Amino acid sequence: MAAVALSKSVFLGTGVAESTMFKSTSVVPVRGHIVMTSNFEKTNRYADELKQTAAFISAPGKGILASDESNATTGKRLATVGMDNTVENRQAWRELLYSAPGLGNYISGTIMFDETLFQDSRAGVPFVDILKKQGILPGIKVDTGLQPIDGTDGETATQGLDGLAERCQKYYQQGARFAKWRAVLRVDNEVLPSSTAILENAHGLARYAQICQANGLVPIVEPEVTLGEGDYSIERTAYISEKVNSHVFRLLNEYNVILEGILLKPNMILPGLDVPTPAPEEVARYTVRTMLRSVPGAVPGIHFLSGGMSEEEATLNLQALQAFGPTPWSLTFSYGRALQSSTLKTWSGKVCIAFLTTPPYDPDID
């Protein structure tokens, strides 16, 4: 069994001069089409800023407030407290959230919808300025929604790549420093998600992430294995989440996405809705195991979504995760409903915001 003596000078019939062989940006035409591409990170002027932004958002004790509900979805929320879906009501609701005194002690970034990023408070102060004063970075939802993948059983792709670069530039100019794109995968006992859905969603996330980084925005990569009906086990969710994450990271790597400049927004590991809710310790054990198997240490923060969990559940589960540390990435939150639900109910559209928001925890008082 002869081993091969590797010779550096044999390129089959190419006539390429030796001196060009080792430049990392040259195209070397050979049988097999080897192309050496230049490093995306080296040529990206935002590389350092992306890493700093991601580190800031994922700092210990901080998390993300997700307030990027589309107008339609916001309307549903407002309807639950008897309010009409008008631009003024949406403005008032977001103003309440962003003006909560001391919010910046706990929240490092908030994801906004397009309308909100360009909106002002009722007194005419841009929301991005209010947030800046709070020490909170504005983020922006950039996907344009879910679309069915034909030939699958209710599986979806996420739209939004067309014109994304230009939109990112516009958002960056307005003050956004991170972005979000939600990919959704269904899971069941045997068939879902299909490989088609996994590949489609992983691809969308990777392209989106690369475009964001090229334009100064830290991409939140959200491959949500969504909580659904059925009696599939927590083991099944863990296994599928690992598979999905493997494809996602494979494609992020293929597109040269800078991992120190992304944040991950995964689901916690939960069984199907027809299975009794497990204790926080069990959720935490499976969740951390999945993260350890899936997520390289270069990613600074894992911000869990709260999908399907109550406010209290979401917080208890998050707390339980911390017992499994230390980990190379922070285990934190990007919560929408789990942060907003009771606040919305308490407010119910009444104007006296200052008296109705819960004051922040003050260790000197409490």
Partner 1 sequence: MAAVAMSAGMALKSSFCGAAVQQSGATAVAAKPQRVAMFAVRAGGYDEELVKTAKTIASPGRGILAIDESNATCGKRLASIGLENNEVNRQAYRQLLCTTPGLGEYISGAIMFEETLYQSTSDGKLMVDCLKEGGILPGIKVDKGLVPLPGSNDESWCQGLDGLASRTAAYYKQGARFAKWRTVVSIPNGPSDLAITEAAWGLARYAAICQDTGLVPIVEPEVLLDGSHGIDRTLEVAEKVWSKVFYFLAENNVMFEGILLKPSMVTPGAECPERATPEQVAEYTLRMLKRRVPPAVPGIMFLSGGQSEVEATLNLNAMNQSPNPWHVSFSYARALQNSVLKTWKGQPENLEAAKKALLVRAKANSLAQLGKYSAEGEAKEAKEGMFVKGYTY
> Which residues in the 42-71 window bind partner 1 by CB under 8 A?
42
Question: Quick one: which of 312, 323, 325, 351 contacts partner 1 (CB under 8 A)?
Answer: 312
**Spatial CB neighbours of 2, under 8 Å, sequence gap ≥ 6:** none
Question: Quick one: which of 61, 82, 190, 355 contacts partner 1 (CB under 8 A)?
Answer: 190
Query: What sign does the CA torsion over 86, 92, 95, 96 have?
Result: negative
Rounded least distance, CB 176 to partner 1, Å: 24
293/314 Cα distance (integer angstroms): 22
Q: Would you say 128 or 205 has its CB closer to partner 1? A: 205
Q: Would you say 117 or 234 has its CB closer to partner 1? A: 234
148/26 Cα distance (integer angstroms): 41
Q: Would you say 168 or 218 has its CB closer to partner 1? A: 218
Q: Would you say 165 or 323 has its CB closer to partner 1? A: 323
Rounded least distance, CB 163 to partner 1, Å: 21
The answer to whether 311 is a known catalytic residue is no
Rounded least distance, CB 61 to partner 1, Å: 13
Rounded least distance, CB 28 to partner 1, Å: 8
Rounded least distance, CB 244 to partner 1, Å: 10
- Contacts with partner 1 by CB under 8 A: the residue count is 82
Q: Which of residues 218-237 bind partner 1 (CB under 8 A)?
A: 226-229, 235-236
User: Which residue of the set 51, 62, 141, 265 is catalytic?
Assistant: 265
Q: With CA atoms as reference, report the closest residue to 265 among 340, 208, 216.
A: 208
The answer to whether 222 is a known catalytic residue is yes
Phi, psi for 331 (deg, rounded to 5): -105, 105
Q: Would you say 127 or 286 has its CB closer to partner 1? A: 286
Rounded least distance, CB 13 to partner 1, Å: 12
Question: Quick one: which of 102, 194, 207, 282 contacts partner 1 (CB under 8 A)?
Answer: 194
The token duo for 138 is 């504005």
Q: Which of residues 196-215 bind partner 1 (CB under 8 A)?
A: none
- Applying CB under 8 A, the span of 88-96, 164-172, 208-216, 246-254 interacting with partner 1 comes to 246-254
The full DSSP string for 98-167 is: HH-TTGGGTEEEEEE-HHHHT-B-TTS-BHHHHHHHHT-EEEEE----EEE-TTSSS-EEE---TTHHHH
Is residue 238 within 8 Å of 290, Cβ to Cβ?
A: yes
Segment holding 34, helix H or strand E? strand 34-35
Question: Quick one: which of 84, 254, 274, 281 contacts partner 1 (CB under 8 A)?
Answer: 254
User: Which residue of the set 155, 222, 224, 260 is catalytic?
Assistant: 222
- Reported in sequence order, the residue ranges of 208-285 that DSSP labels E, i.e. its strands, are 218-225, 263-264
Rounded least distance, CB 223 to partner 1, Å: 14
34-39 CB contacts, 8 Å cutoff, 24+ apart: 39/256
**CA dihedral of 322, 323, 327, 332, whole degrees rounded to 10:** -10
Alpha carbons within 13 A on the beta-carbon side of 11: 16
Site for partner 1 contains 1 (CB under 8 A): yes
Site for partner 1 contains 362 (CB under 8 A): no
Is residue 212 within 8 Å of 142, Cβ to Cβ?
A: yes
Indicate the residue type of 97.
L
Site for partner 1 contains 133 (CB under 8 A): no
Q: Would you say 78 or 295 has its CB closer to partner 1? A: 295
Q: Which residues are catalytic?
A: 222, 265
